[in-house]
Amino acid sequence: MTKGMDTRNNILEAGLEMASQFGLEDVTIGNLAKTMDMSKSGIFGHFQSKENLQIMIIDYAVQQFTETVVIPSLKIERGIPRIKAMVEKWIEWGNSLKGGCIFVSASAEFSDRPGPVRDALLAYQTSWLDSLAKLADSAMTAGDFKPNVDTKQFAFELYSLLLGFHYYHRMLKDEKIQEKEEKALDRLIKNYT
């Protein structure tokens, strides 16, 4: 990796943390320059605009999410064990960021704002829902789920559970959220077995 790529990745890492804590909209070239102790022109040289910076932060977050959540989960036995591993690793990943999952916060920020940033988020979210549906498909193939389940419904219910976990954990500071999440996940899975 070149020095320029190292610098860019360090900027994106700082941008991801900043976006997690304060929102993607608050990640500006100026704010990031202060955080990184760099010049604005140094940051600008890597991204050319705030919008490009935001999209590249999303892309970087997707890469990090894929490496720390998706790929390790796919190494787990398919079916219910893989579903539980994916949920566990998603929660761990969200907790590793000071402000929680950037995809949750950024989706709330940009849901009603048309443009390339929203388009990037929408593409990722659509892909993620497809991945969750494939988990259900894999569970059917493994014999853990009954045949012919509605995989899109499962994806909706599982993602809704994950979003609820994020809200209860981050906003409500529910001390028993881990226990509630485990019970809810077990009930959800039982509906499909």
Mean pLDDT computed over 133-154: 96
Whether residue 26 lies inside any domain: the answer is no
Residue 9 and residue 91 in contact, taking contact as beta carbons nearer than 8 Å: no
CATH number at residue 176: 1.10.357.10
**Residue 47 confidence (pLDDT) above 90:** no
Residue (of 75, 82, 86, 83) closest to 188 by Cα position: 83
The CA distances from residue 176 to 51, 166, 168, in Å, are 38, 13, 9
Written as six digits, the tokens of 136 are: 């259900």
* Full residue range of the structural domain in which residue 178 is found: 55-192
Q: Please give the pLDDT value at position 133.
A: 96
Does residue 142 fall inside a structural domain? yes
Nearest in space to 116 (alpha carbons), one of 51, 187, 160:
51
**How far is the first Cα of the chain from the last one, in angstroms, to the nearest whole number?**
47
6 vs 15, which has greater pLDDT? 15
User: 103 lies in a domain?
Assistant: yes
Whole-number pLDDT of residue 108: 85
pLDDT band with cut points at 50, 70 and 90 for residue 49: confident
Quick check: is 110 in a domain? yes
> Has residue 68 been placed in a domain?
yes
Structure-model confidence comparison of residues 106 and 187, the more confident one: 187
Report residue 90 CA to chain centroid gap: 7
Task: Please tell me what DSSP assigns to residue 24.
Answer: G
Q: What are the tokens at 55?
A: 């999209």
Is 20 among the domain residues? no
Mean pLDDT, rounded, of the chain: 91
Q: Tell me: the pLDDT tens digits for 160-180?
A: 999 998 888 877 887 888 888
CB of 137 within 8 A of CB of 151?
yes
- Token reading at 22: 């304060």
Q: How many CA atoms lie within 13 A of 186 on its CB side?
A: 6
Residue 19 lies in a domain: no
Q: Determine, yes or no, domain membership for 127.
A: yes
- Count the domains in the chain: 1
User: What are the tens digits of pLDDT across the range 53-90?
Assistant: 999 999 999 999 999 999 999 999 999 999 999 999 99
**CA nearest to 158, candidates 180, 126, 136:** 136
Q: What is the pTM of this model?
A: 0.88
